[in-house]
Amino acid sequence: MSFLLSSPGVTNLPDVFQKYPKRGVLILRLIDDIMRKESPLSDGERELIFTYISGLNACGFCYHSHVPAATAFGINETVFTGNMGINLDTPEVDEKLKPILGYAKKLTLTPTQVTKADVDAIYAAGWNEQAFIDVVSICCVVNFMNRFVNGVGVDVDSETAYKTGASVLPTIGYAGWAENLEKTLQN
């Protein structure tokens, strides 16, 4: 249920960004830079990390909207569990990603306990410094978005979230969504 006085009924993230397009554009441009610009991590791997962190934070809207994005970018749907989790023991989760997911979990749930050994495991798996910076950035932006969504009271209607993720993220993407919002600012 929305916590916005001007929108007391059912609301979702597109509704919030439509109501506050300037804020939406800024947020979406940042997410686009982190999630879609050049990276050693594929778009699917970044969406998997986004989904994983959202599940850790029990952010239903973000989890359910990023599952279809991850699958659209090549992540096997059997990785995702029914309880907002990811089955890390399945062969569909590349061993090389496991230290990244472990690091993301620790940075999300117990950030003051992150150690050099956690980072060394990422490098030992074959990732470079750019991948590490990208993982930190993804973790930061996901935790931000999870708090934003939960903070404004975005509804956790998994069907609507899934449709949003399936129709926007793999098609027009974050940048296209931001461009659409910019057009509303010009009118």
Mean pLDDT of 37-44: 98
Q: Map tokens 């932006």 to a residue.
A: 141
**What percent of the chain shows pLDDT beyond 90?**
74
For residue range 132-163, list pLDDT tens digits in order: 999 999 999 999 999 999 999 987 776 777 77
The per-residue pLDDT for 41 is: 98
Average pLDDT, the chain: 93
The CATH number that domain 25-172 falls under is 1.20.1290.10
Kindly list the domain boundaries of the chain, sorted by start residue: 25-172
pLDDT beyond 90 at 101: yes
Q: State pTM to two decimals.
A: 0.94
DSSP conformation letters of 71-129: HHTT--GGGB-TTS-B-TTSTTS-GGGHHHHHHHHHHHH-GGG--HHHHHHHHHTT--H
